[in-house]
Amino acid sequence: SFKRAYNFNAGPAALPLTVLQKAQAELLDFSDTGMSIMEHSHRGKDYEAVHNQAIELLKELLAMPSGYDVLFLQGGASLQFAMLPMNFLPAGKKAGYVMTGVWSEKAYKEAERLGQVFVAASAQEGNYRRIPAAQELQYDASTAYLHITSNNTIYGTEWQEFPDTGAVPLVADMSSDILSRPFDVSKFALIYAGAQKNLGPSGVTVVIIRRDFLEQADKNLPTMLKYGTFAKDNSMYNTPPTFSIYMVKLMLEWVKDQGGLTALYRRNQDKAALLYDAIDASHGFYTGHAQPEARSLMNVTFRLPSPELEKKFLDQAKKEGFVGLSGHRSVGGCRASTYNAVPIESCQALQAMMLAFQQANA
Ligand code: PMP
């Protein structure tokens, strides 16, 4: 017997125990084939079924309208920072970026090497505590696309409502909050997400792309850098990361078993509320980094009164079985990532630990 850690890692992050157990049970003999899914050809029917089930489940869970393709890529969300402008930022056009944190900055800088970009709005002042309001966004009808980061993993801020950009294609990096709540896919021309938070293990990046947008892509790119290559061959032009995609399929089945995105959204709200309540009721002992109206349900960021107390808190948390609570170096302090697979019991335990620590040290 063993004890599961209270895993608050920012990514790669906690996976549901039942998903891990299913993978374990199927590891040596997948579906009576006498071998692991890892050992199957990606061209064989056994793997192909897994691959297509993952795509269909994602479409179903996100209530994706027709006219969209789901692609499996490699290179992480970071490769998307470059692939997006390579495909969709032609000479003579400009792409707009909404700056809400380090990942938006990285996306912007990568696009800047490849074409013309502009800042459509920025929340940098005050170190990314907020999300710009829709009225703040500055762009015009000729904008190639508008890029947002739906959840800012490092700062713990999250878009509460996505902007309506009309004919201007809206693109989102949803790496750290996809599948955490229902949203309207039809607002977006392209969505990308590294898998290693809510979708599964690292090694695969999911791209959701609207076909009419895809048609506008640059055709003169290296084969592996064209979204069209992946769309045309159902993400099997070359060998896909089969085991990661298999794990994504298990995760999506789990999401469905939990009651889908509406149920998970409710649970994520309850989980985050436990921690935000502990912050808000602490009379300033804990201070949240994000402005309350921009608070993320996935990454709860907070500070203690001094670096010494932060160190003491993190040391004690470690002793009590909590993992991954150090804040990112650009914010400092603490961060609890409460992705879909983090059970409410972990958040209850952390809330109790925060209260006890405050009582002993305030
Ligand atoms: N965007 C966001 C919002 C992220 O949280 C991360 C990783 N933490 C990235 C992009 C980079 O992802 P990857 O490591 O898959 O390239």
Give me Rg for the CA atoms of the chain: 21
Q: Answer yes or no: are the C-beta atoms of 271 and 342 closer than 8 Å.
A: yes
DSSP code of residue 4: -
Neighbours of 152 (CB within 10 A): 28
3-class DSSP assignment, residue 250: helix
The response to whether residue 155 sits with its C-beta less than 6 Å from ligand 1 reads no
CB proximity list for 43: less than 8 A, separation 6 or greater: 236
Q: Which sequence spans correspond to the domains of the chain?
A: 18-257, 260-361
As a whole number of angstroms, the distance between CA 225 and CA 90 comes to 15
Angle 39-40-46 from CA coordinates, rounded to 5°: 145
CB proximity list for 69: less than 8 A, separation 6 or greater: 208, 209, 211, 214, 231
Q: Is 18-257 a domain of CATH 3.40.640.10?
A: yes
CB proximity list for 16: less than 8 A, separation 6 or greater: 251, 254, 340, 341
pLDDT at 3: 85
Q: What is the dihedral of CA 111, 115, 119, 124, to 10 degrees?
A: 30
What does each of the 362 residues of the chain score in pLDDT, given as a tens digit? 678 999 999 999 999 999 999 999 999 999 999 999 999 999 999 999 999 999 999 999 999 999 999 999 999 999 999 999 999 999 999 999 999 999 999 999 999 999 999 999 999 999 999 999 999 999 999 999 999 999 999 999 999 999 999 999 999 999 999 999 999 999 999 999 999 999 999 999 999 999 999 999 999 999 999 999 999 999 999 999 999 999 999 999 999 999 999 999 999 999 999 999 999 999 999 999 999 999 999 999 999 999 999 999 999 999 999 999 999 998 999 999 999 999 999 999 999 999 999 999 99
> Which tokens belong to 122?
């920025």
Q: Where are the beta strands (DSSP E) in 195-280?
A: 205-210
Instruction: Tell which one of 73, 102, 103, 131 to mutate to probe ligand 1, the residue whose CB is within 8 A of the most ligand atoms.
Output: 103
The response to whether residue 103 sits with its C-beta less than 6 Å from ligand 1 reads yes
Q: How far is the CA of 298 from the centre of ligand 1 (A)?
A: 14
pLDDT at 331: 92
> Which tokens belong to 94?
């400009």
pLDDT at 84: 99
Q: Answer yes or no: are the C-beta atoms of 205 and 193 closer than 8 Å.
A: yes
pLDDT at 287: 98
Atom of ligand 1 nearest to the CA of 76: 15
3-class DSSP assignment, residue 326: strand
Q: How far is the CA of 6 from the centre of ligand 1 (A)?
A: 22
> Which tokens belong to 19?
């998903």
Q: Answer yes or no: are the C-beta atoms of 115 and 85 closer than 8 Å.
A: yes
The response to whether residue 194 sits with its C-beta less than 6 Å from ligand 1 reads yes
Atom of ligand 1 nearest to the CA of 153: 5
* Long-range CB contacts for residues 258-263, cutoff 8 Å, separation at least 24: 258/340, 260/61, 261/61, 261/62, 261/179, 261/180, 261/181, 261/182, 262/182
The response to whether residue 176 sits with its C-beta less than 6 Å from ligand 1 reads yes
Q: Answer yes or no: are the C-beta atoms of 37 and 46 closer than 8 Å.
A: yes
Helices (H), 15-174: 17-26, 45-61, 76-88, 102-112
Neighbours of 72 (CB within 10 A): 23
Residue 164 has, within 13 A of its CA and on its CB side, a CA count of 1
State the catalytic residues. 103, 173, 197
Using CA atoms, how far residue 321 sits from 1, 16, 307, 360, in Å, is 16, 17, 21, 19
As a whole number of angstroms, the distance between CA 186 and CA 88 comes to 18
The response to whether residue 175 sits with its C-beta less than 6 Å from ligand 1 reads yes
Fold of 260-361: Aspartate Aminotransferase, domain 1 (3.90.1150)
The response to whether residue 305 sits with its C-beta less than 6 Å from ligand 1 reads no
> Fold match between 18-257 and 260-361?
no
Residue 10 has, within 13 A of its CA and on its CB side, a CA count of 18
Backbone angles phi, psi at 73, to 5 degrees: -120, 170
Q: How far is the CA of 168 from the centre of ligand 1 (A)?
A: 24
> Which tokens belong to 91?
């000479």
